[in-house]
Amino acid sequence: EVQLVESGGGLVQPGGSLRLSCAASGFTFSDYWMTWVRQAPGKGLEWVANIKQDGSEKNYVDSVKGRFTISRDNTENSLFLSMNSLRAEDTALYYCARKHPAVGTPLDFWGQGTLVTVPS
Amino acid sequence: QSVLTQPPSVSAAPGQKVTISCSGSSSNIGSKFVSWYQQLPGTTPKLLIYEDNKRPSGIPDRFSGSKSGTSATLGITGLQTGDEADYYCGTWDISLSFGVFGGGTKLTVL
């Protein structure tokens, strides 16, 4: 059974840092692109970043470029999101998701999310 | 605001059909495959449609996807109260070089 379990969220002051983790199991982690998606309270989905199977390609939404870094450890079946210079608008539930093998960017398995709160 | 445009809400009666539109541009929907997600209240998003019109295993054929030019459509037939959820379209934008979602559409089954 595919499982994605996020951790590392919490309350952090503006300008602070956090590192989110996502532990994957039930599939060959190194075979898949992985993605972070966030959802602010009561709002819609926002794509944040993704990373290729071997970590050689990474993409970021403009609003986090230069502040967030996505990475992975295929030996530990783990995905990470390092977040610096956090702002109130980064407050959201952060989901780790696996990209379906199909063409494009469909996300076929999602974790339960970890909540990041940055007070204004 | 979102790169992809969806109506904020749609509604229909049980047993009826509803469609949800997703409008984009040549740099996203017009050149990349579209996916659709269902998010039931209090739950994580679930993949309903990928590559414009394909259903993952376990998704009933009441759900269908189509695309024409820079717009995509999700269709749901035989509506059930359990279909009440938020629905999102998503794809890649080749100009922005990142993934994009629509703002979401809340489906109410009256």
Interface contact B47-A108, CB threshold 8 A: yes
A50: nearest Cα among A71, A37, A34: A34
Please tell me the predicted confidence (pLDDT) of residue A102: 82
The torsion angle over the Cα atoms of residues B40, B41, B42 and B48, rounded to 10 degrees, is: 10
Please tell me the predicted confidence (pLDDT) of residue A103: 80
pLDDT band with cut points at 50, 70 and 90 for residue A105: confident
pLDDT band with cut points at 50, 70 and 90 for residue B1: confident
| Whole-number percent of chain A with pLDDT over 70 | 100
The torsion angle over the Cα atoms of residues B55, B91, B79 and B43, rounded to 10 degrees, is: 90
Interface contact B54-A102, CB threshold 8 A: yes
Please tell me the predicted confidence (pLDDT) of residue A104: 80
Closest partner residue to A105 among B2, B92, B103, by Cβ? B92
Residue A108 near chain B (CB below 8 Å): yes
By the 10 Å C-beta count (0-12 exposed, 13-18 middle, 19+ buried), A107 is classed as buried
Question: Mind telling me how many Å the CA of B98 is from chain A's nearest CA?
Answer: 6
Please tell me the predicted confidence (pLDDT) of residue A115: 98
Mean pLDDT of A49-69: 97
pLDDT at B32 over 90: yes
Using an 8 Å CB-CB cutoff, list chain B residues near A50.
99
Please tell me the predicted confidence (pLDDT) of residue A101: 83
Q: Two tokens at B83?
A: 């279909």
A82 touches A59 (CB < 8 A): no
Mean pLDDT of B57-82: 97
Q: Is the dihedral of CA A64, A66, A68, A72 positive or negative?
A: positive
Mean pLDDT of A85-109: 94
Residue A64 near chain B (CB below 8 Å): no
Cite the beta strand spans of A1-120 per DSSP E: 3-7, 10-11, 18-25, 34-39, 45-51, 58-60, 68-73, 78-83, 92-99, 107-110, 114-117
Residues B44-54 have pLDDT tens digits of 999 999 999 99
A107 DSSP β-pair partners: A99
Contacts of A120 by beta carbon, 8 Å cutoff, 6+ apart: A14, A88
CA separation, residue B105 to residues A32, A92, A93, B17, B24 (Å)? 29, 19, 19, 15, 15
pLDDT at B15 over 90: yes
Please tell me the predicted confidence (pLDDT) of residue B94: 96
